[in-house]
Structure 1
Amino acid sequence: MQSTQSDGLAAKILLVDDQTSSLLLLRELLHNLATLYFATNGPHALELARQHRPELIVLDIEMPGMDGFAVCRALKADPITSDIAIVFMTSHIDIEHEITSLSEGGIDFLRKPLHAVSSRIRIKNLLDLSRYSRQVVAEKEWLKVTLDSIGDAVIATDLDGKISFMNPIAERMTGWLAREVLGRPIEEVMQLRDAHTLEPHWNPIYFALKEQRVVAMALNCQLVSRSGQLFQVEDSAAPIIDRNGQCHGSIVVFHDVSESMALALKMSHLANHDPLTNLPNRVLLYDRIEQALKRAEQLHHKSALLLIDLDNFKYINDSIGHNLGDLLIKHVSERLSSICAAGTTLARLGGDEFVLVLQELWSVEEVSLFASQVHSQFQQAFVWEDKKYQMTVSIGVSIFPDDAQTIEMLMRHADVAMFKAKSEGRNRTSFFSEELEQHMIHRHQLELLLRDTLANQQLQVHYQPKLCLKTGKLLGAEALARLKNQQGHWVSPVEFIPLAEETGLITELGLQVLRRACKECLSWRQLGFQVPVSVNIAAPQFANPQLVRQILNLLTELQLPASMLELEVTESALMLDVSKTQNILSQLKAAGICISIDDFGTGYSSLSYLKKFQVDVLKIDKSFVHEMLTDKGDMEIVKAVISLAQSMNLQLVAEGIELEAQTHKLLELGCQVGQGFFYSKPLSAKDFKAYLQQKTTA
């Protein structure tokens, strides 16, 4: 008999009877309930059942060859068909057949001849029940697959905390198999303890069951597996409550956070430590200082902050390379660490700066002794690949509560003291004082004034005449930077020029002086005065690869002849890079610019290098001229410089002439050109023009 397909019906029923008339009757009764399949013997029934897996099989008991009971046993023995609901039917009316049918696995029993209406209703109800049962099984399987597939461990319990389910992740973490733990108390399988105290933890499912709410697992919770393996775990437990509010048990979901906690600890370490030296960084340092200050306050002790800076490390780093520089920094940190007691904090602020925090001090002498220990660590050179690197440190010290009461003040005062140590010659320790702070405040205000002046192009330039000592003829003028404060008072160049060099403002200052001096020289020419102007070039300017281009562009822009410009460069600037110096000087000379060595005799140039440099003028420093008449040593230096210039056919200019006797002596020795207060102080642009007019009429 052919199967009957019913459109839109997902359910399937297999009808098995050796009598065709019974099958026809059943087809008539059930054709619009499900898709129907027919078999007239046992083997065919088994084949169709495996092929189509119907929700329901209506099975006749008495069939030749293989009766209904044998077919039922075969179906239940096969995993593919074991869940199919079976309804037996027979013409026997004795109770034994009904009992046997139900015992073999049937869910109902129909008697022949079939009553059409009741049989249809019963089969429909049984079909619905079978479909629902399959749906429940499918949902349960889907839920199990889902719980087995998620990355978290899941354990379910009954109301007494005995395990009813455990997924594979939970198996792996606890070391127990799911089949072994069913019915066991959860605390036996899921052993929890505090990671710090190692005390046992009560499982959170008991809180969840007791309080009927979601309960988070305690922090720092550790799971001890069956084999003793430890897992850092976190997550939560919750009661299992149905739609009617009835609690049926609990479920705990947890996961291994050992790696993430290790990563978090590593990230925390990186955030608080210097990656190169592994010392505390600024963030952790501030916390350590705060603790030290609180403890000092409670115990009525002192604390000290030592700011340590490696002297001239930038030059070492630039010359040997940053990789080797980093290695030296690591060796420095190791040497400093070797003298630190347990309560001492050593931190690296970055670059070549370190900080030491000393706690529980009774006197300042203790700090001095410790600072001496720090200096002693640098007496022995650092050796790398058979090369020695000698380093020293400058240390600034600030004491709590004597010098400062806050972390910021302590750090700032230590920085002020360290700067003083640097300015006094390096390789020493300086303690903070009120006078020192006032000096630094003045310095800071001066820096702000200088920056503001340069930003607003308000720097002034004065001009000191250079004259022939014999005739008094004006031969040129030196441009000198001048700075006024907010009160209209002049700031000494001795103050602001070194500050400009320290802060990196000297390059901008030099460019502004150069531009203003060239413009002023051009204005003199337009008035008919051919007076060359000389401009000082600081060492950082001279090291600037754009210097030559900047100067030549300026001359071109102003249409000022190069012969009207003289550049004064110090010996130390010329000696920074000899080959580079030769290249720059040759370019400037080729353009027609005059070059002079300023303050000659105060630097360290050798005669061999001086011969290679294409210079035109040597300027005798005013420090020698000032005492030449009373100090034999200064007189001998002046004589030597004049003799050297004459032998090299160089022009000479003496600076700082203040007495007529100095003029006579310089002329006697062979110096023909000079400048100084004896002839004229540096003049403003306006006053210098008046001076020019006066010299002309005279």
Structure 2
Amino acid sequence: MIEKSPHNRNKVARRILLSFVVASLIPVLVLGVLSFHQVSQQLYQQSYDVLQKSSKDYGLRFIDRLVLAESALRLLANRIERSSRGLRDQNLFRDQKLQKQFSDLAIITNNGQRASLLGDTRMVPYLTEQEIESVRSGLTLIKPIESNEIGVKQIWIALNFNENSPDAGILMAELHPEALWEVDNLGVNQLMVMTDVGESWFSSLPSTSLPNQLLTNLLDNYSGSFNHNLGNNAYLGGFWQAPIANMFASPDLIIVHAQPRSMALSAIDYFTKVYPPLILLTVLIVAFLSTKLIAKYLSPLTALRIATERIAEGQFDYQVDIHSKDEFEILGDSFNEMTRRLRSQFEIQSTMAEIDRQILSVLNADEIVETALTRLPGIFFSDLISIAKFDAEKQLIVEVHTRRDGQHFDLLDQSFPINDEELTDLQKNQGSVVEINNQPRLPAYLEVLKLTGNWHFLVIPVVVNGSISATISFAYQQTKIISNDLKAIARSFGDRIAVALSNAAWEEKLFHQAHFDGLTGLANRLVLNERLHQEIARANRDSKQLAVFFLDLDRFKNVNDSLGHAAGDELLIQIAEHLSNSIRTTDLVVRMSGDEFVVLITDIDNPALISMIAEKVLKAVDTTSIVAGQSVKSTASMGIAMYPTDAETPEDLLKFADSAMYYAKNDGRANFRFYSAEMTAKALENIKLEHDLREAISKDEIIIYYQPKFDSEKQVIGAEALIRWNHSELGMISPAKFIPIAEQSMLIVEIGRWVLEQTCEFIKSFTNLGIEPVPISVNISGVEFDRPDIVNKTAEILKRTRVNPDFIELELTENVAIGNREACIERMHQLKALGLRLAMDDFGTGFSSLSYLQDLPLDVLKIDQHFIRELETGINSQAIVRAILALADGLHMQVIAEGVETESQLKFLQDHQCKLFQGFLFSRPIPANEFVKLLLGKEQKNHLGLGNV
């Protein structure tokens, strides 16, 4: 409340009164001159500011028009593509909205042909190679073309006819000049639009040629004002550089608005004429009324001055308090309303700018949501704001963020369902603002707020990629009338939130693709490498250990070959799930490639527990899964490397664990091995041997020896083909050393087929030599037998060599029969159907049951030499040999005892009705030519003694 003060109680009032008494005229005149100068300068500046703001506003609208034109053109392209008649559908081009936007439409095919859709094809501009490349890369091209109208260029817009197929052609449109430039809306302003290199696109100024100084000023500054002579007139103007290069294949544009100086400064001219008389009149009035008005107006003016200073300092929430019950009170209220509007506008622009900045720079949409929760309630004067995120595909509300009375709350601990009707209603209202008031039942995204009483809601649907992604809800405890302008602003914020969520979803998708396996969802090599570096640093800091498990599925290739890759993928998904469930949440499972997995075990205090963890992991893999309708048994071989015991870098840990895994495979699979330093040297040796083995056949280093088989009369009744490797540098290499390498690298398949073919050719040569052929057995590896093409490839070799299959015997080990029983038996029958004999080698060392054995179509059992060697010392071995002989006799199979080296062994076997023998007592493996001599009866004596060969 402003109170009147007598003059004698107010020092300022006494001074003012004294000033007017002493010299009333001079101070007023001086004040008038100063005021005149200041007001003139302010009017000048105001004119510049208005023109500069006008150029910026025009520039922003110009960008909106370009964006709208781009959207309309892309919509037209979609309509053309969907139309059954395509470009022939003229109804697509008769749309009045399109005709108001575009003067002409054209298409450029992928081979460069131009065709106008509305006018003359000759008027369609040519595009440079660089411009075509820009459009194909996904950018929208803005291209100016000289026109007949002076100072105005035709503006064409071009984009890919099909966004997903850059080679489908280019759709172009000439923007309608009236719709593009909006010259009618310029009012008294003159407009010039030019590029940031000085090329003019449009000019309504009397001279399109600008002075060099002015042109330099326009090109060098982002925005500003000028005062120059253009043609015969002086102009005041403002300019602003529109950054359209960020959105289109186009240079940035400089928007210039100008007015003749006489028009722009008309207020100053009027002020110059009116001000001096007013000063004089004021002096007279002030002199007369000063004593009466000082007390009344001094306090309100002081309050307004203080308020003005506060506003100048940016304190838009400052309110002036005047209760003089006159115009000063009205002025104070108007001043307060002005500051409120300024505060609201400033807050709106600031919030939009902040959200736009975050959209461009922040990958996490949660920060943008937090900004909206914090700043939007003040803009829309709401009592509560809520942002709900949806999973429209699953019809779930997954997150609800609210802010009320400055407090931020996250309401949902778990997903909340939303029905299809509510989603459809939101979808239908996209692009608008929904008001909800006094409804008996609130939608789920508002019901979850659990508000009591009568609330009025303003809801903005947020649509991302065509589906509802979120809602922004403003709640008011009392019904509030929301202006259309405020609704438009609310819609704008909704669009910005949609862009933010879309960007975040895309970034999340890219991140997931870069860091996780697309099939199993497990982490990939990149995540493993980053995590290993982190865990090594942490283990080093905390003096702990970590372990790397390298797993490779056993015989996984058989699944792909027999059931198909889709079944293999299904099995990998199940294995990945089993592995993930077998470890702690702090550990990590990674799919390296194919059927290889890595498990990272961290925070190890007691290394003795690693074996237990390894057994648990292998047990998780050791399952029987149903894939492609078939029961598939899966196991894995695993190698383990420890930090810091075995290695101190991620690379070495993975390499050493990999080496240990190969040792686990060589030791029989379905087990694990810890890394040791000896493994590295042996692994390097194996790598070299594998490399040399690949070239051994072509270099004739692989040779075949034949170990004869004898009957009780010590007559040759057959032989077994055995391979030897005569390395050019290392000499003879034991099969025990290179056969596992061949099996691991799958070279055993090629070698096995080569041995079979050579044996067939060898048997055929007997006829030419006049020798009665004898059966020769060839060993078939389990790797080779498991291949689905074993039967076909064997048949091809028999057909190509034209050998009598009665003299070919295939030796299999028990291990080949422990897989898929039905498939194994069927494959054996198919081989028997080719005329071949089948023998089971090393019988007694495998795992097949007797019931299983009776179903196998075998002709021969070979007693493993382990039992033969222990006949003289082991009672158990004698019992096993007797049992095998009795079993074979019951199944009507022949029995061969291999590894017979002493006469006492031979006598035991003969005493128990064993009739066929093989071993050093009779002959060592010999080259082919010596075996031929043996069959011819030459040097027979040299091969009938103990170790005479």
TM class, shorter-chain normalised? 0.5 to 0.7
**1:373, distance to aligned residue in structure 2 (A):** 4.2
Match of 1:142? Answer: 180
Task: Tell me: CA distance 1:514–1:405, structure 2 relative to 1, closer, same or farther (3 Å).
Answer: same
- How do residues 435-474 of structure 1 correspond to structure 2 at under 5 angstroms? 435-454=678-697, 456=699, 458-469=701-712, 471-474=713-716
Q: Give the structure 1 partner of residue 727 of structure 2.
A: 485
Paired residue type of 2:688: Q
> Is the Cα contact below 8 Å between 2:614 and 2:672 reproduced in 1?
no
The residue aligned with 1:667 is: 910
1:639, distance to aligned residue in structure 2 (A): 1.3
Answering whether residue 802 of structure 2 is matched by residue 527 of structure 1, we say no
1:255-654 alignment runs, 5 A limit: 256=499, 258-293=501-536, 299=541, 301=543, 304-309=546-551, 312=554, 314=556, 325-326=571-572, 328-336=574-582, 339-341=584-586, 344-350=587-593, 353-357=596-600, 366-369=606-609, 372-373=612-613, 375-376=615-616, 395-424=638-667, 430-454=673-697, 456=699, 458-469=701-712, 471-530=713-772, 531-574=774-817, 576-654=819-897
Greater Cα radius of gyration, structure 1 or 2: 1
1:480 aligned partner, one-letter code: L
Structure 1: distance between partners of 2:909 and 2:650? 59
Mapped contact 1:306–1:414 kept (Cα < 8 A): yes
- Would the aligned equivalents of 2:704 and 2:927 in 1 still touch at CA under 8 Å? yes
* Secondary structure at 2:592 match in 1: strand
Which secondary structure state, in structure 2, belongs to the residue aligned with residue 540 of structure 1?
Answer: helix
The separation in 2 between residues aligned to 1:572 and 1:358, in whole angstroms, is 33
Q: Structure 1 residues 545 and 331, CA, compared in 2 at 3 Å: closer, same or farther?
A: closer
Greater displacement, 184-193 / 494-503: 184-193
> What is the alpha-carbon distance in structure 1 between the residues aligned to residue 820 and residue 601 of structure 2?
43
Give, as a single letter, the amino acid of the residue that structure 2 aligns with 1:329.
I
SS in 1 for 2:724: strand
Q: Percent identity?
A: 29
Structure 1 pair 463–275 and aligned structure 2 pair: CA distance change class (3 A)? same
Tell me the TM-score normalized by structure 2: 0.45
Local SS of the residue matching 1:529:
coil
Whole-Å separation in 2 of the counterparts to 1:584 and 1:391:
21
Distance across 1 between alignment mates of 2:798 and 2:672: 49
In structure 2, relative to structure 1, the CA distance for the partners of 1:399 and 1:633 (3 Å cut) is closer
Report the counterpart of residue 417 of structure 2 in structure 1: none
1-structure distance, mates of 2:865, 2:933: 26
Report the CA distance shift for 1:190/1:375 in structure 2 as closer, same or farther (over 3 A).
same
2:799 and 2:632 map into 1 onto residues whose CA distance is: 47
TM-score (norm 1): 0.60
SS of alignment partner, residue 674 of structure 1: strand
Instruction: Compute the displacement of 1:437 (Å).
Output: 1.6
**In structure 2, distance between residues paired with 1:615 and 1:323:** 36
Instruction: For 1:183 and 1:141, locate their aligned partners in 2 and report how far apart those are by CA, in whole Å.
Output: 34
Assess, with a 3 A threshold, how the Cα gap between structure 1 residues 194 and 639 changes in structure 2: closer, same or farther. Answer: farther
Q: Distance in 1 between matches of 2:787 and 2:632?
A: 28
| Change over 3 Å in CA distance of 1:639–1:289 after alignment to 2 | same
Q: Cα distance, 1:476 vs. partner?
A: 1.0
**8 Å CA contact 1:302, 1:399 repeated in 2:** no
For 1:475, what is the secondary structure of its paired residue?
strand
Q: Distance in 2 between matches of 1:420 and 1:572?
A: 19
Over 3 Å counting, the alpha-carbon distance change for 1:340 and 1:393 in structure 2 is farther
Contact 2:551 2:637 in 1 (8 A): yes
Give the superposed CA RMSD.
4.9
State the Cα distance separating 1:682 from its structure 2 match. 0.5
Q: How many pairs align?
A: 498
Counterpart secondary structure, 1:512: helix
* 1:466-486 deviation per Cα after TM superposition (whole angstroms, max 9, x unaligned): 1123x2211111101112334
1:191 aligned onto 2:351: yes
- State the shift of 1:610 in Å: 3.8
Paired residues for 1:679-690 under 5 Å: 679-690=922-933
Q: Return 5+ residue gaps in structure 2 as ranges.
A: 1-148, 154-175, 186-221, 227-237, 243-339, 388-459, 463-495, 942-949
Deviation at 1:133, TM superposition (A): 13
1:85-118 Cα offsets, whole Å, 9 max, x none, are xxxxxxxxxxxxxxxxxxxxxxxxxxxxxxxxxx
Secondary structure of residue in 2 paired with 1:487: coil
Amino acid at match of 2:680: E
**Alpha-carbon distance between aligned partners in 2 of 1:366 and 1:391, rounded to the nearest angstrom:** 30
Any conservation in 1 of the 2:777–2:811 contact (CA below 8 Å)?
Answer: yes
- Structure 2: how far apart are the matches of 1:133 and 1:509? 83
* 1:175-186 correspondence to structure 2 within 5 Å: none
Seen in structure 2, the aligned counterparts of structure 1 residues 420 and 304 have a Cα distance that, compared at 3 Å, is farther
**Deviation by residue 1:382-404 (Cα, 9 ceiling, x = unmatched):** 8999x999987765333445433
Task: Output the CA distance in 2 between the equivalents of 1:390 and 1:564.
Answer: 36
Q: What is the rounded CA distance, in whole Å, between the counterparts of 1:290 and 1:595 in structure 2?
A: 55
Q: 2:897, 2:917 within 8 Å by CA — same for their partners in 1?
A: yes
Give the partner amino acid of 1:630: T
Q: 1:383 to 1:489 in 2, by over 3 A?
A: closer
Secondary structure of 1:191 counterpart? helix
**Separation (CA, whole Å) in 2 of partners of 1:394 and 1:693:** 49
Taking structure 1 as reference, are residues 572 and 632 closer, same or farther at Cα in structure 2, changes over 3 Å only?
Answer: same
Letter matched to residue 369 of structure 1: L
Separation in 1 of the partners of 2:849 and 2:904? 31
**Bigger shift: residues 562-571 or 657-666:** 562-571
SS at match of 2:528: helix
3-state SS, counterpart of residue 926 of structure 2: coil
Question: Quick one: distance in 2 between partners of 1:664 and 1:354?
Answer: 54
CA deviation after TM superposition for structure 1 residue 527, in Å: 1.4
Q: In the alignment, which residue of structure 1 is the partner of 2:3?
A: none
How many angstroms does 1:656 deviate by? 0.5
